[in-house]
Structure 1
Amino acid sequence: MAANYSREGIVYNGLILPFYKPLLENPGARINAIKDLEGRCDDVIITAFPRSGTHWIWEIVHMLLTQNDEYTDKTKESAFLEFVDDLNKVEHIPSPRILNTHVPYGWLPKQHIEKKRKIIHVVRNPKDVFVSYFHFKKNFGLIEEWNEFFKYVIKPTEEILKLAKFLEIDCSDELTEKIADKCGFDKLKNAHCTMKKTESKVEYYRKSEVGDWKNHFTDAQNAEFEELLQSKVDGSSVYKKFYS
């Protein structure tokens, strides 16, 4: 299937993909390679729409799987399936691997799905995602004004325990508290800047404030966004939590 290009990204199979090098070269080849990826029985895949909090969840899962609260010097981009320059590099990641992607369910590794291995799907209020994406693009100088862009609290320990149960990991109360502390937004942001082996200057951690969309959306913009969102997710139970 041929790809088209717009200022927003690479248009492939009806979806807009980011300008990552492997996708620019041949989006179809990379998507097919992801779908055909050979997995391992202990692989975990984190999947989410961009700007939904995958860096945060990736760090928590790493601590749970290693059973300690030490930060890793690796970045999630090293196991980012549509981002790494050579997908074969993920074969050299020691088990258990924490793979991550922004592709939709139908493009995930087929073997992983067929063998019912662990998938963690991160969902964030779409309005907060929208605001986060605005600031992400603003950092790159791709957009300046909110109105221009518009045109075109959980308890951490409880959620960590839910993740541990899903991953079938025994997690002590002490370790749960340590992970919650280390993965607090300010500490995690500082660790990313001081400990990660990366030359990237991209600011992944901005504010992490639930409901920050209210500081950006006007009433008219909120109504317009709601109408669009409902047309896209009508009948889905995933987003009901944001409107209950």
Structure 2
Amino acid sequence: MPERRYDTEVSEEDIIKVSDSHGNVMEFLEHGGQYISAKGVIMGKFPNPKTNFPRLKEMNIRSDDFFLCAYPKAGTHWTWEIMSMILQQTAEYHPLKKETHMLEFNTPEVLESVTSPRVFNTHLRPNNMPQQFFDKHCKTVFVQRNPKDVAVSFYYHCMQTIKFCGTFIQFMDFFMEKHGPVYHSAWPLYTLEWEKYFKEHPDHPVHYIMYEDLQQDPVSEIKRLAAFMDKPCDDQLANQIAEKCSFQNLKTASDTVKGGDRSMSFYRKGKVGDWKNHFTVALNEEFDQYLQQHKTDTVYKYEI
């Protein structure tokens, strides 16, 4: 893959600052309703969305490309590794991090250099996706997770990536859009826009995965996913992939196989229902009202 070098020049007037009365500040760069960390761009971690997103719209897509679409902390790392193993027909970890195949964190030149078969992953909303993704009806895997667990995991993620220093309750005020736009985008808006697209385009091949189902019965979900990808996957391979992609094994592989930064791990607990250890009764009631005001079509079989 080409060396990833990005322009770190950012105009001060382009930086969107979202703050609360406790001194917590988030700084973003925006394009198409997507909010990316300004500091991440300035540090050269990924390209400026204001210039890169329009170019992503025009990038070349191959008909056999797979796309993994998920809100942050819904299970992107986990599912991407499983999909990569299914494509390679072996329970061996992909040598690269999933960020190397992530749309918003790369330029078209870098992404187009990836050899097929390719599994791209993204947190982008539909309006920011490459046009050829729609034109070529690329197979899409859409992952969803209990939004309360998403919020908890996203809080710890933001503590690491954008150095959010506030409490969980203070973070939830940001998550519920009380102070302005949300990092990446608001969960209900992201979910609703993808639901709307798939409903209005029934000819677009999409496979839905619930994070909780994947954790409860990984072998069955892996075989179901393989069938969608039109790849063979017997019980032996499915069990091998499930073992290699268990939470602890993936966390270890992130450090050993992929050379991860031990100071910044994207793997925390991976538990279902951890939100109960973070939400107060009052916050839970408030967030329920927020979800009720921003209803999605997703039906949860798990307590929210």
Indicate which of 115, 120, 128 corresponds to 2:136. 115
Q: Tell me, in whole angstroms, the C-alpha distance in 2 between the residues paired with 1:214 and 1:169.
A: 38
Shift of 1:151: 3.0
State the Cα distance separating 1:171 from its structure 2 match: 0.7
- % same residue: 35
Aligned to 1:164: 226
Structure 1 CA distance, aligned partners of 2:261 and 2:227? 35
Match of 1:5 among 16, 19, 30: 16
Distance 2:244 2:256 in 1: 14
Q: Give yes or no for contact 2:87–2:117 (8 Å, CA) kept in 1.
A: yes
Cα deviation, residue 55, structure 1? 0.6
TM-score in terms of structure 1 length: 0.89
* Counterpart secondary structure, 2:67: strand
Say how many residue pairs are matched.
240
Q: Within 5 Å, give how 1:53-72 maps onto structure 2.
A: 53-72=75-94
Structure 2 gaps of 5+ residues are 1-12, 18-24, 175-211
Contact 1:65-1:96 at 8 Å conserved across structures = yes
Q: 1:195 aligns with which of 254, 257, 271?
A: 257
Alpha-carbon distance, 1:5 to partner? 1.1
Task: Give 2:103's aligned residue.
Answer: 81
Higher mean C-alpha displacement, 195-204 vs 160-169: 195-204
Aligned with 1:223 (options 276, 282, 285): 285
SS at match of 1:82: helix
Determine the C-alpha separation between the residues in 2 that align with 1:3 and 1:122.
Answer: 31
- Judge which range, 122-131 or 197-206, deviates more: 197-206
Deviation at 1:201, TM superposition (A): 3.8
What is the rounded CA distance, in whole Å, between the counterparts of 2:63 and 2:31 in structure 1? Answer: 30
1:130-164: CA deviation from partner (whole Å, max 9, x where unpaired):
00011122335422422332333420011101111
Aligned equivalent of 1:90? 111
Q: Which one-letter code corresponds to 2:59 in the other structure?
A: L
Structure 1 residue runs of 4+, over 6 Å off? 22-25
Distance 1:132 1:47, change over 3 A: same
**Would the aligned equivalents of 1:23 and 1:82 in 2 still touch at CA under 8 Å?**
no
Distance in 1, Cα, partners of 2:131 & 2:255:
35
Question: Where do 1:168-183 residues align within 5 Å?
Answer: 168-183=230-245
Normalization by structure 2: what TM-score? Answer: 0.72
CA RMSD of superposed structures (Å): 2.3
Bigger mean CA offset, 74-83 vs 23-32:
23-32
Which residue number in structure 1 is paired with residue 298 of structure 2?
A: 238
**1:18 aligns to 2:37 (yes or no):** yes
2-structure distance, mates of 1:207, 1:24 = 26
Residue by residue, what CA displacement relative to the aligned partner does 1:164-184 show, whole Å, maximum 9, x if unpaired? 111111111100010001100
CA separation in 1, counterparts of 2:276 and 2:30?
30
Tell me if structure 1 keeps the 8 A contact 2:74–2:143: yes
Structure-1 separation of matches of 2:265 and 2:122: 19
Counterpart CA distance in 2 for 1:243 and 1:203 is: 27
Deviates more, 1:153-162 or 1:28-37: 28-37
Alignment partners' CA distance in 1, 2:83 and 2:46? 30
Q: Using the alignment, how far apart are the partners of 1:24 and 1:59 within structure 2?
A: 21
**Residue-by-residue CA offset, 1:30-88 (whole Å, 9 max, x unaligned):** 2222222211121111111111111111110010000000112211111111112x330
The whole-number CA distance in structure 1 between the counterparts of 2:45 and 2:258 is: 25
CA distance in 2, matches of 1:172, 1:90: 31
